[in-house]
Chains A and B, each alone.
Chain A
Amino acid sequence: MIAAAGFALLAFAASLLTTLISLSQRTHQLYGQLVGLRSLRPAPDQGPVVVVEATEVGYYRASKAGAEPLDFVVTQLVPHGTSQRIWTCTTDWKAAAMTSLVRRAEGVVLSRTLRRQPKFVGPGLLTTFDPRPKIRCTLALHGLAVLVALLWAAVALGLITTGEPKLGASLALACFLVMPLVEHQLSIQARAPDEPGRTFVAELSL
């Protein structure tokens, strides 16, 4: 019985540890994004994030005769106004290149490529915004999650060792089951630095 309990606690602790490492890793990445965005201050009329309106999930190519085509992936459907629309954005340095490319091209054509048949889906639409407030918020949520997880584990361990083993074990189990869900939600949040009311997810490959 003691061996079994030890095994269970060890498994829970290992899972909690890797969750904390994962959260810390992403916290570091988010911090890096913030620092990067600070050093890459855009021109007043041009944000570091490009938002392109499209109509379907998939691989896209922004192209214009004479300009280098730009491939990117739209990965999430987002409700916008009365219709369902899809947006994509990026916060890395390539955003600046994409912005200038798209701005140079009049009537940008987004075509589905790489997957199924190429299909014309209409002109691109460009808007910009500052993603930093959202990243700061996500960063704070990650820190909070780490603190809550540590506190939760400490309370569970405390209860187990001070005469409330059932309650402590239940708390440890709940922590084991809930923390991955919290981490999952935070990973979605971290992938989607956006302005209020919109969600953006993107990967950009040149």
Chain B
Amino acid sequence: MAHPRFVAWRRYTSCLSGLSSSVGILRVDHGWLRHPADRRSLLLVTAYQLTLFGPLFVPELRNGLMLIAACGLSFLNAVVIHNVMHLPMFTSAKAEAALRAILSFGNLYPASANIPAHNRVHHRFEDDGLPDWAAPEHVRLPHPALSLLHFPNVIGPRTFEGVSRFARRSARAEFRRQYRFELGFAVGLTAALLAFDFWGALLFVLVPQLFGARWILRINLLQHAGTDPTSQWAHSRNFVGRLLNWLMMNNGYHTIHHAQPALHWSELQQAHQEQASPHVDHRWQELSLLAYLYRLCWRST
């Protein structure tokens, strides 16, 4: 029998082919955006860019609150990367490529890395039977809090090694070109900002960039630690709190995301309630991410 997450992928690819044929209709409905809900994504990305560039040019903005805001928005930037790499945001390919470059700068890694690392391996296990590059099992420190802290240190290099392997062996020239463009833009702009104002860029650009990039990796651990990847309904932990999902663009509804990766993030909540929630055991439905984090770190459950 095919792996449940592979079945989900087959459904995903068939949905994508359906989507490409309906792009024309969507363009008529929503102009340059494929989905109107992505206005929120754009708003978050714009706000994040303002929190990055603001302190560089307005010294009065260099304070702890701005740093906290930038770090939070950086994580959301990474969520937007995840979303747009599943479903493009713009109808124009050029606009999409430009958006990916801006998003890449936001987290200092090429957004296209998500194609092999997330779309193909995490969703589809397409690495010749090897475990997911971001599987929680890769990190086993003596305490869950230490594992959570250390997770990006292990998963980051593993992922980039895998992405490089993919780029060398399997990727099309188009992927390699876009990947290099995003990498060059992200690293080049960051380096230019460091040269312009070392301390300002180090503390108010680089720290938020890395914060978001590292926490999006940690989310893998939170969503999959202790779950059963071979199960249809117990392969992911869901965080179903409304506030969190409003902020994280429904990223908490993870079971349904794996079942239907092509579903737009704004439709995940309803789909979760209708299709996943009746089947998902209560152990895999957490109301609050923060409460789960507290239990994980201080009560080790």
A65 touches B (CB below 8 Å): no
B202 touches A (CB below 8 Å): yes
* Most chain A C-beta atoms within 10 Å of own C-beta, residue among B64, B129, B146: B129
B157 touches A (CB below 8 Å): yes
**A21 contacts which chain B residues (CB < 8 A)?**
141-142, 146, 150
Cβ B150 vs Cβ A1 within 8 A: no
Cβ B156 vs Cβ A180 within 8 A: yes
Q: How far is the CB of A11 from chain B (nearest CB, A)?
A: 7
Chain B positions 189-228 with a Cβ under 8 Å from a chain A Cβ: 198-199, 202-204, 206-207, 211
Cβ A4 vs Cβ B206 within 8 A: no
Q: How far is the CB of A203 from chain B (nearest CB, A)?
A: 10
Cβ B153 vs Cβ A169 within 8 A: no
Residues 39-76 of chain A: 1 if any B CB is under 8 Å from the residue's CB, otherwise 0? 00000000000000000011100000000000000010
Cβ A18 vs Cβ B158 within 8 A: no
- Which listed residue, A3, A19, A25, A169, touches B202 by the CB 8 Å rule? A169
Bound form: Cα–Cα A182–B139 in Å: 16
Cβ A75 vs Cβ B62 within 8 A: no
Residues of B at the A interface (CB closer than 8 Å) are 62-64, 67, 128-130, 139, 141-142, 146, 149-150, 152-154, 156-158, 161, 198-199, 202-204, 206-207, 211
Can you pick out 30 interface pairs between chain A and chain B where the beta carbons lie within 8 Å of each other? Answer: A3-B64, A3-B67, A4-B64, A4-B67, A4-B204, A5-B203, A7-B64, A7-B207, A8-B202, A8-B203, A8-B207, A15-B149, A18-B141, A19-B150, A21-B141, A25-B142, A57-B129, A57-B130, A58-B129, A59-B129, A75-B130, A115-B129, A166-B199, A179-B153, A180-B152, A180-B153, A183-B154, A184-B154, A184-B158, A184-B161
